[in-house]
């Protein structure tokens, strides 16, 4: 029986572990992966953070790269491993929790092989759980390679020939840019009404301006926060207008349907596509938590991470409190608040 079990050894789980360690609490992190940083290492090879090094630190340890450096996925994974070693954080790997329920005054957590017990549980599994792909992908011939962005690494995974990228978020635009640099025709499906922001402006990083203007600290309940949540999120670090002008890139509007080799878009039907990357996001999955109440977006109802079930808490959710709640450098503020709420 632990005082606390933390589910998930990503940045949010490690942040709250740091504060529990400071207060000499009995805790354990359980994680579905085989090593620290695995979710980062699974992402595409050319991925870089949008945030410079000075905004990436977890509590108690600076990010080990010079100011203004935009880290690769490998550098982020290495930093998380260093963090675990420095603070000697206990982690049980290869333990994917599939059921969580409260029994009397404690919680029982079940993986495929183990039953854990704890007085309190902090769910830090992040917002990205189940890859979402439109149903029309089932109508597409097996001769076309289909990859969700979760599994995309680099263009070597693709067949020769025309390639379609679906999705207008940061991931979709970054992958689109990489594939458009190859000698193939690339089709883009999604809205072209995308605002983009440079990583630096007037000699300062974008995140310096975000901090200066209060963009990162505006709460989801504030007027500014509500405007940001309800607006279209800008793409950071990619000149989208310039990207869409590349001669080998064609914008085809939303994907409407498919039949074998024929894929139908708002701007017509195309039959030459050999590869599809679905950068269409993820759906949350918290159905394994017994009696938890979910909101309209299928996230657990909570206030700053405190759920409606006594002893059950959350970290790392998008807009848990502010725009920075799910970022590498922003989660520490939520972790500090939650640790003080729980322990004081």
State pLDDT tens for residues 216-243: 677 777 776 677 667 677 677 788 999 9
Question: CB within 8 A of 207, min separation 6: which ones?
Answer: 50, 51, 52, 55, 216
> Rounded to 5 degrees, what are φ and ψ at 40?
-70, -45
CATH of 131-195+232-278, one of 2.30.29.30, 3.10.105.10, 3.40.50.720, 3.50.50.60: 3.50.50.60
Nearest one of 132, 133, 134, 158 to 144, comparing CA atoms: 158
- pLDDT band of residue 104 (cuts 50, 70, 90) is confident
Q: What phi-psi label fits residue 305: left (phi over 0), alpha (psi between -120 and 50 degrees) or beta?
A: left
Q: How far, in whole angstroms, is CA 243 from its chain's centroid?
A: 24
Using the predicted structure, report yes or no on whether residue 253 has a pLDDT greater than 70. Answer: yes
Of 202 and 248, which is predicted with more confidence? 248
* Vertex 14 angle, CA 152 and 282, to 5°: 35
Q: Is the pLDDT of residue 49 over 90?
A: no
Considering the chain, tell me which residue range(s) the CATH 3.50.50.60 domain(s) occupy: 2-129+284-343, 131-195+232-278
Q: How confident is the model at residue 209 (pLDDT cuts 50, 70, 90)?
A: low
Q: Which of 148, 10, 2 is nearest to 73 (CA)?
A: 10
Q: Please state the φ and ψ torsions of residue 234, each to the nearest 5 degrees.
A: -75, 155
pLDDT at 274: 98
Per-residue pLDDT tens digits for 18-30: 999 999 999 999 9
Q: Look over the chain and give the mean of its residue pLDDT values, rounded to a whole number.
A: 91
pLDDT in tens, 298-342: 999 999 999 999 999 999 998 787 877 888 888 999 999 999 999
- Residue 271 CA to residue 180 CA, distance in Å, equals 19
Any idea how long the chain is? 344
* Percentage, residues of the chain above pLDDT 70: 92
pLDDT at residue 214 is higher than 80: no
Per-residue confidence band for 201, with pLDDT thresholds at 50, 70 and 90: confident
Overall average pLDDT of the 193-219 stretch: 71
Third-level CATH fold of 2-129+284-343: FAD/NAD(P)-binding domain (3.50.50)
Nearest CA to 309 out of 101, 28, 2, 15 is that of 101
DSSP-derived 3-state class of residue 74: helix
């Amino acid at each position: 029986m632990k005082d606390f079990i933390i589910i998930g050894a990503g940045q949010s789980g490690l942040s709250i572990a740091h504060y529990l360690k400071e207060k000499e609490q009995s805790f354990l992190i359980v994680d579905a992966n085989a090593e620290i940083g695995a979710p980062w290492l699974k992402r595409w090879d050319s991925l870089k953070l949008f945030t410079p090094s000075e905004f990436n630190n977890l509590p108690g340890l600076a990010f080990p790269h010079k100011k203004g450096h935009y880290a690769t996925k490998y550098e982020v994974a290495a930093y998380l491993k260093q963090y675990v070693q420095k603070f000697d954080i206990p982690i049980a790997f290869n333990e994917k929790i599939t059921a969580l329920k409260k029994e009397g005054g404690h919680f029982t957590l079940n993986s495929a092989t183990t039953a854990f017990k704890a007085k309190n549980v902090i769910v830090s599994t992040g917002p990205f759980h189940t890859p979402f792909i439109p149903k029309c992908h089932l109508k597409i011939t097996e001769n076309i390679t289909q990859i969700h962005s979760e599994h995309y690494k680099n263009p070597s995974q693709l067949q020769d020939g025309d390639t379609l990228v679906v999705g207008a978020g940061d991931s979709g635009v970054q992958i689109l840019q990489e594939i458009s640099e190859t000698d193939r025709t690339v089709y883009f499906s999604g809205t072209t009404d995308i605002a983009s922001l440079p990583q630096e402006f007037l000699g300062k990083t974008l995140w310096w301006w975000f901090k200066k203007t209060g963009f990162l600290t505006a709460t989801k309940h504030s007027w500014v926060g509500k405007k940001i949540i309800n607006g279209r999120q800008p793409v950071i670090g990619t000149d989208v207008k310039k990207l869409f002008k590349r001669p080998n890139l064609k914008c085809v509007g939303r994907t409407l349907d498919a039949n074998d080799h024929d894929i139908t878009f708002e701007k017509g039907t195309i039959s030459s596509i050999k590869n599809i990357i679905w950068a269409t996001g993820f759906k949350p999955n918290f159905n394994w938590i017994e009696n938890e109440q979910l909101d309209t977006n299928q996230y657990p109802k909570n206030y700053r991470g405190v759920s409606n079930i006594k002893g059950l808490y959350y970290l790392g959710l998008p807009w848990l409190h502010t725009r920075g709640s799910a970022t590498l450098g922003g989660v520490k503020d939520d972790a500090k608040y939650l640790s003080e709420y729980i322990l004081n």
